[in-house]
Structure 1
Amino acid sequence: MSEAFDRVTSMMRQTVEVVDAVNPRFVNELSDGCAVAGAFLLRSKEMRAARNGDAYLVLTLADRTGSIPGVLFKPDPSAVAIPSGSVVQVVGRVTSFRGSRRISVDRLRPASSWDPDDLMASTTRSRAEVAAEFTAIVRSVSDPGLRATLRRIFGDAAFFERFSTCPGAQSHHHAYLGGLIEHTVGVAALCASLADRYEGVARDLLVTAALLHDVGKVEELRFDTGIGFTDRGRLIGHVVLGSEIVTRAARDAGLDSEVEARLQHALLSHHGELEWGAPRRPATLEALLLHHADNLDAKAAGMSDILAGATRAEEAWTDASNLFRRPLYAPRSAEDDRTRV
């Protein structure tokens, strides 16, 4: 019996090797009907029951290019036992369900080996360049109390290293190593511009809030084999975790209590609405501008990534399984059109 099992395992391995050699390796390359055989991060897993009572697993599989749903019908105990956050070997095929792509999984096992660079995306920008841009914005803050508060937080070398490496989110936007500081620079640059555009804006307060608005993600996210949430991240969330970090720094820096209250309000309300995770809705001009700058940078970056994936696949339209829940148009550039002539 063991010999028969070894023969089946050997055949499966050979099949995986052949399929892997001729089929797409990454999520953003997958299209309907293509075979799948490779390592993915098992981002989430949920057991459900079909109408006939049969069990099946609903999966979220991810690599450095994005994530895709998966389904495994009649899973065996070894597949059920694999914890979320593991790296798994997947054999299956891409299918379409209700207009969205997913992997219909035939086999799911813990991966014995994988390349970490295949699973964790990283910023394409120079980290030194982004850090220099961030530092320049910090130095543009002239208010002594606000600048001292920023120094208390980002002057800690270990903290700044983690902040510079941390992803901006688990998914949707800046979901790669170095994404948090890149997103922060984008939001802070927008806020600096907005402060010059509208009368009555406390420029230093707004820019400081922009630099600090997502600082709690350093404690909310873990990013070893993949991007996930810490226990504190799940229980408290980055908005409140960030507020706690800023409270300690502001008190140590001797920040004026009224200025601290306005800063905290902007941080606590930057998600805009209660149903979007904001403990408060924006009630100051600085808080309102921060909310919209944050949303603009996140949504623009998210759409840019989605359209880039469609362009690489030479598709004019995406499907509806994205942040915006609708098909998006990815027109070819004029240069692309010229090369086709």
Structure 2
Amino acid sequence: MQISVNQKFENVAVVVRAISKKVDQNNKGYYHLQVGIGLKSYDAKIWSDDEKINNEIIPGCIAYISGIARDFKGTTQLHINTIERIFNPSQDLINSILPTGFANENDMVNEINRLIDTIQNPYIKSLLQNIFEHQEVKKHFYKKAAGAEIHHAYIGGLAQHTIEVAKIVKGYCEIFSYIKYDVAMASALLHDIGKIFELSSFPENKYTTRGRMLGHITLGYEFVSKLISEIKDFPTDIKLDIQHCILSHHGMLEMASPVVPMTIEAIAVHNADKASSEINGFNLAIQRDTGTDLWTEYSPAYKRYIKK
């Protein structure tokens, strides 16, 4: 569902992504919200300081809203007259309003398995099979996002991003025959595995305490290292290669990588990760935008406007 300027809406279900209480120039209280319907994200205002709103409406909750949409500096802003939290939403209602990706979960499971089957090294293949059969991975990997806000920030986003990175790396290996395929492919499949611990489940999709304090790179490194240790005689050189790719996949120290890429496989994984995240980030900015012209709002993440 998309809400247009001057459209009245009644009892529309939304996810409250953010809410804060503010004071206007006349010292009157009001609420500023970000609400989501699918991939769309709307700026919203409630011109009231009702304390019940402050107590009941929290980030991650689902609510019915009624009001009218207005144009505000070229974007669609929702002026909410009433908001009512839904305390026990049905699964069908949740599914209808949460942001979802562009791939079916079963298709992504099958694609991950196909990519694992391309691995020749028995140690690496065993590691990947053990990880993707792990209880925590099966429970969360295909349902969580790859990011809280910027890229692949929707249900299934983590798996979709991982498959994109793996396919890009596969393409690199076809062009650059000297890339060690098994190491690069395994690292592509595992580079963001720590995000199953870093981000909470939907509808919240926020950083967990562990995620904030340690980050997905550290969490992923520790998780993969633990499962490597459970495979007898796992080769030390391969272990170091995969660990290095995970630790360096953000590419730069200032981008939270503990080390920079120092192997061909690591630089391949980094560039594949960058391509997937930035291309999807542009597309997500376009999908979310509620503006009325040909350009998105200014993106602080990418420091530019993006043509729709």
Superposition TM-score tier, normalisation by shorter sequence:
0.7 to 0.9
Query: Percent of aligned pairs with the same residue?
Result: 23
Instruction: Confirm or deny: 8 A CA contact 1:100 1:321 kept in the other structure.
Output: no
In structure 2, which of residues 52, 55, 69 is the aligned counterpart of residue 94 of structure 1?
A: 69
Q: 1:316 Cα shift? A: 7.2
CA change 1:319–1:124 in 2 (3 A) is closer
State the 1:184 CA deviation: 1.0
Decide whether aligned partners of structure 1 residues 293 and 137 sit closer, same or farther in structure 2, where only a CA change above 3 A counts: same
1:118 equivalent in structure 2: 96
Superposed, 1:230-241 pairs within 5 Å as: 230-241=208-219
CA distance in 2, matches of 1:123, 1:134: 16
2:282 equivalent to 1:287? no
**In structure 2, do the counterparts of structure 1 residues 202 and 85 end up closer, same or farther at CA, with 3 Å as the change threshold?**
same
Match of 1:243 in 2: 221
Q: Aligned pair 1:265/2:238, yes or no? A: no
Q: Partner of 1:181: helix, strand, or coil?
A: helix
**Structure 2 unaligned spans of 5+:** none
Q: What residue is the counterpart of 2:83 in the other structure?
A: 108
Shift of residue 215 of structure 1?
A: 0.8
Letter in 2 for 1:103: L
> Of residues 286, 294, 303 in structure 2, which corresponds to 1:317?
294
CA 1:191/1:48 → structure 2, altered by over 3 Å: closer, same or farther?
same
**Contact 1:119/1:226 (<8 A) preserved:** no
Counterpart for residue 40 of structure 1: 14
User: Where does residue 132 of structure 2 map in the other structure?
Assistant: 154
Determine the C-alpha separation between the residues in 2 that align with 1:229 and 1:141.
33
Match of 1:165 in 2: 143
**1:183-222 equivalent positions in 2, closer than 5 A:** 183-198=161-176, 200-222=178-200
Q: In the TM superposition, what is the alpha-carbon distance from 1:138 to its structure 2 partner?
A: 1.0
Shift of 1:88: 2.0
TM-score (norm 1): 0.76
Amino acid aligned to 2:235: D
Give the partner amino acid of 1:300.
I
Q: CA deviation at 1:327?
A: 4.4
What is the alpha-carbon distance in structure 1 between the residues aligned to residue 16 and residue 230 of structure 2?
Answer: 42
- Measured in 2, the distance between the counterparts of 1:98 and 1:276 equals 33
Say if 2:3 is the partner of 1:30. Answer: yes
The 1:268–1:32 alpha-carbon spacing in structure 2 relative to 1, beyond 3 Å, is: farther
Does residue 84 of structure 1 match 2:59? yes
Structure ranking higher in helix proportion = 1
Report deviation, 1:293: 0.8
User: SS in structure 2 opposite 1:129?
Assistant: helix
Q: 1:277 to 1:50 in 2, by over 3 A?
A: farther
Gaps of 5+ in 1: 1-25, 331-341
Aligned partner (choices 60, 66, 77) of residue 34 of structure 2: 60
Q: How many residues align?
A: 301
Could you tell me how far 1:194 is from its partner in structure 2?
0.7
Q: Is the 8 A contact 2:245 2:269 kept in 1?
A: yes
